[in-house]
Amino acid sequence: MDFLRPATWAEALEAKAERPGAVPVQGGTDVMVELNFDVRRPDALLDLNRVAALGEWSAEEDGRLRVGSGVTYARLIDELGDRLPGLAQAARTVGSPQIRNRGTVGGNLGAASPAGDGHPPLLAAGAEIEVESAARGVRMIPAGEFYLGVKRSALEADELIRAFWTRPAGGPQYFSKVGTRNAMVIAVCSFALALHPAERRAGTGVGSAAPTPRRAVAAEEFLAAELDWDTGRLDPGLPRRFGELAAEAASPIDDVRGTADYRRHAVAVLARRTLTWAWHDLWKEG
Ligand SMILES: Cc1cc2nc3c(=O)[nH]c(=O)nc-3n(C[C@H](O)[C@H](O)[C@H](O)COP(=O)(O)OP(=O)(O)OC[C@H]3O[C@@H](n4cnc5c(N)ncnc54)[C@H](O)[C@@H]3O)c2cc1C
């Protein structure tokens, strides 16, 4: 197995163009497990750790944050937790300190697992994924169009993930996850909510309850229409209905972590709770 170590982003793109079968490695917390268990045996690994630009994040002129695909969960929590609270909450639930010190949202996107914890907050915030190839240059892919199937994304064989772009939170954000224990656990299901009060709408992301992470679009439309953005009054039936609509967006399976019925129920509970927390935060802050 060849081990390719580009020093720059341009070299990395060239290497991926020449060897589309080369498997990129960032933190290696997914890739190394797959190699150890012989899930795949690629003819080349493309180590991105020398490409310093991937470990950087910046505030861009349009007000959005551009977060390099090599920024670890630990750094995201420390350096961006105040601006991306939903994603930081999700990051805190990933693995252990060791995994958070190596693992990245870029790698979560590359793996595109339906259970990846980074995906629901990216969907709820309306993030975009910046991908690039040597042949065709940069493509910006809305998170809602990135996930195509179980561990399948819109990334082409000659493309690499450069960064994700998202606005700093304009309102309360929450991520909540059900697992079979409190730490080091793959989500049985998860849910992210982002309130966008300036636009009088909310974004959602459902995790581990369908072949791909996905938005609960009808639930979002319900909130935009029904939330009382003028007085903050929250009719008790509203979070319940929101939960039902969020559960309807799921299409879960029975597996070792939980049944489809349980997952639907749990998504409804998580949606109801995150809405209640976020709405209270919004009105507490005035
Ligand atoms: C013990 C343990 C616990 C875990 N717990 C969790 C958890 O709680 N929640 C969770 O979501 N995940 C968890 N994971 C999975 C893993 O840590 C995450 O998916 C993590 O985000 C992967 O990031 P990474 O940088 O290590 O990716 P890598 O392993 O380096 O790569 C992952 C995938 O992305 C591709 N890739 C990496 N960088 C790029 C790039 N720039 N462009 C294109 N493709 C790229 C790789 O080829 C590979 O297919 C756990 C893993 C372990 C071993």
Residue 11's CB is within 10 A of a number of other CB atoms, namely 15
Whether this model's pTM surpasses 0.95:
yes
13 lines ligand 1 (CB under 6 A): no
End-to-end CA distance of the chain: 58
Buried/exposed code over 164-175 (b: 16+ C-beta within 10 A; e: otherwise): bbbbebebbbbb
Residue-level pLDDT at 286? 57
Residue 284 phi, psi (nearest 5): -65, -40
Which residue's CA is the closest to the ligand 1 atom numbered 8?
A: 94
**Spatial contact of 101 and 29, defined as CB atoms under 8 Å apart:** no
Residue 142 C-alpha to ligand 1 middle, in angstroms? 20
**Spatial contact of 108 and 118, defined as CB atoms under 8 Å apart:** yes
Which residue's CA is the closest to the ligand 1 atom numbered 19?
A: 108
121 lines ligand 1 (CB under 6 A): no
Residue-level pLDDT at 185? 87
Please give the Cα distance from 26 to 47 (Å, whole number).
7
Ligand 1 pocket: which of 56, 108, 109 to mutate (most atoms within 8 A of CB):
108
114 lines ligand 1 (CB under 6 A): no
pLDDT in tens, the chain (286 residues): 999 999 999 999 999 999 999 999 999 999 999 999 999 899 999 999 999 999 999 999 999 999 999 999 999 999 999 999 999 999 999 999 999 999 999 999 999 999 999 999 999 999 999 999 999 999 999 999 999 999 999 999 999 999 999 999 999 999 999 998 888 889 999 999 999 999 999 999 999 999 999 999 999 999 999 999 999 999 999 999 999 999 999 999 888 889 999 999 999 999 999 999 999 999 985 5
Which atom of ligand 1 is nearest the CA belonging to 46? 47
